């Protein structure tokens, strides 16, 4: 899977939905005038979680997208979810398509799209599934790749979660890191709009993604966000979009200067040494756990000693926090140690 994007950062912007020809062309012209954006996004067919919301203008919006491309020079991209929609998008020669988060969860749907794409070369972006299941996302990439599409990108739009307060769809960054482990060169775009659900943290989320070496961004921008027919709260004006883009720092992947390389090597050697020490200490700890396991066995005492474990947790979580580690990390770390300790104590 090669990175097919010709520019970094690759910037996609546009309204959540195509509403009218005038709304699309006006917004597209304002975005193109910024001279920063590569492609115009706009939903023609909108998957809404509940019926009764605006479900998209439908196929006639495609000719307006083509008109916007003609007038602005921007590439054009929309979401496809059925074979018919793929056919229509191909007929109008869209530059890219994306598969939406509610489609990625459904292998039947992804396979239908993949079959309709067979024999074509259109680049396809795949949004993460709404639920945090890395296998579904991997499966969607494999299905589209198996259809012969070699230009595939990912869009990180966040994951639905119960009672999410800060974000509409929390980012769960580690799932994207997992995808990058599997496909190291696949390009990834951040979609801060659907992660945030409001305008408030768009910049912070986008900057976080830049720091993680994402390849670009897809962001919702509307000429009059408050009047948008869908996702009104999270869209920004083209003027605000320019501020966001200009404020972002896209980091380089590496630098050859010897000063940077020497400092980095020095820190890394230190880290490697500490990692060795940590693992040998954990090895020593597990040997003692084994001894405790034997003792408990000989005296017919249960392996699990909940009170003792609660004492350890209460003491070490605070200690860890004082040392600069997060509460969440301490919980996960101690849980892993406890499970390993229980495992070895159950061995005899």
Q: Is 156 in the site for ligand PEP (CB under 6 A)?
A: no
Q: Is 179 in the site for ligand PEP (CB under 6 A)?
A: no
Give the residue with the Cβ less far from ligand PEP, 159 or 203. Answer: 159
Q: Cβ 114 to ligand PEP, closest distance in Å?
A: 17
Give the residue with the Cβ less far from ligand PEP, 47 or 148. Answer: 47
Q: Is 42 in the site for ligand PEP (CB under 6 A)?
A: no
The closest of 114, 198, 197, 108 to 148, measured between CA atoms, is: 114
* Region of 42 on the Ramachandran plot (φ > 0 left; ψ -120 to 50 alpha; else beta): beta
- Chain-centre distance for alpha carbon 82: 23
Q: Is 205 in the site for ligand PEP (CB under 6 A)?
A: no
Among 16, 57, 89, 330, binds Mn ion (CB under 5 A): 16
Q: Is 13 in the site for Mn ion (CB under 5 A)?
A: no
**Rounded CA separation 25/23 (Å):** 6
Q: Is 16 in the site for ligand PEP (CB under 6 A)?
A: yes
DSSP readout, 45-58?
S---SSTTS-----
For residue 216, the cross-strand partners are 10, 189
Among 9, 100, 225, 238, binds ligand PEP (CB under 6 A): 100
Q: Distance of CA 106 to CAs 14, 81, 139, Å?
A: 26, 10, 10
By CB under 5 A, the count of residues binding Mn ion is: 2
Q: Cβ 238 to Mn ion, closest distance in Å?
A: 16
Q: Is 101 in the site for ligand PEP (CB under 6 A)?
A: yes
With CB cut-offs between 5 and 8 Å by kind, which of ligand PEP, Mn ion, none does residue 73 bind?
A: none
Length of the chain: 348
Q: Is 199 in the site for ligand PEP (CB under 6 A)?
A: no
With CB cut-offs between 5 and 8 Å by kind, which of Mn ion, ligand PEP, none does residue 100 bind?
A: ligand PEP
Q: Distance of CA 272 to CAs 67, 105, 177, 276, 326, Å?
A: 56, 39, 21, 6, 22
Give the residue with the Cβ less far from ligand PEP, 197 or 238. Answer: 197
Give the residue with the Cβ less far from ligand PEP, 219 or 330. Answer: 219
**Rounded CA separation 281/124 (Å):** 48
Burial class (CB in 10 A: 0-12, 13-18, 19+), 151: middle
Q: Cβ 202 to Mn ion, closest distance in Å?
A: 13
Residues that bind ligand PEP (CB under 6 A): 16, 43, 47, 100-102, 127, 157, 194
| Residues at the site binding Mn ion, with contacts judged by CB under 5 A | 16, 231
């Amino acid at each position: 899977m090669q990175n097919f994007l010709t520019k970094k950062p690759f910037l996609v912007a546009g309204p959540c939905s195509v509403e009218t020809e005038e709304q699309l062309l006006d917004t597209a012209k304002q975005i193109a005038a910024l001279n920063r954006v590569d492609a115009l996004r706009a939903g023609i067919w909108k998957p809404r979680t509940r019926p009764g919301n605006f479900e998209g203008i439908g196929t006639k919006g495609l000719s307006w997208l083509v008109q916007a491309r003609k007038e602005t020079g921007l590439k054009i991209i929309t979401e496809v979810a059925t074979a018919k929609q793929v056919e229509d998008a191909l007929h109008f020669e869209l530059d890219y398509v994306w598969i939406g988060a509610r489609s990625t969860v459904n292998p039947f749907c992804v396979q239908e799209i993949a079959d309709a794409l067979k024999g074509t070369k259109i680049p396809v972006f795949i949004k993460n599934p709404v639920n945090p299941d890395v296998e579904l996302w991997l499966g969607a990439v494999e299905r589209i790749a198996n259809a012969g599409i070699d230009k595939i990108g990912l869009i990180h739009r966040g994951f639905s979660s119960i009672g999410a307060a800060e974000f509409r769809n929390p980012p769960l960054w580690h799932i994207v890191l997992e995808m990058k482990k599997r496909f190291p060169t696949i390009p990834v775009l951040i979609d801060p709009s659907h992660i945030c659900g409001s305008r408030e943290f768009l910049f912070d989320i986008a900057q976080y993604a830049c720091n993680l070496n994402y390849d670009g961004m897809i962001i919702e921008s509307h000429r009059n966000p408050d009047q948008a027919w869908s996702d009104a709260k999270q869209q920004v004006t083209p003027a605000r979009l320019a501020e966001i883009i200009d404020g972002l720092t896209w980091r380089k992947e590496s630098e050859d200067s010897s000063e940077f390389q020497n400092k980095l090597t020095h820190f890394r050697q230190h880290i490697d040494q500490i990692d060795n020490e940590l693992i040998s200490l954990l090895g020593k700890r597990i040997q003692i756990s084994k001894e405790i396991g034997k003792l408990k066995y000989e005296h017919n005492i249960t392996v699990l000693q909940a009170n003792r474990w609660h004492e350890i947790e209460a003491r070490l979580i605070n200690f860890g926090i004082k040392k600069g580690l997060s509460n969440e990390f301490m919980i996960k770390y101690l849980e892993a140690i406890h499970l390993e300790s229980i495992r070895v104590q159950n061995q005899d």
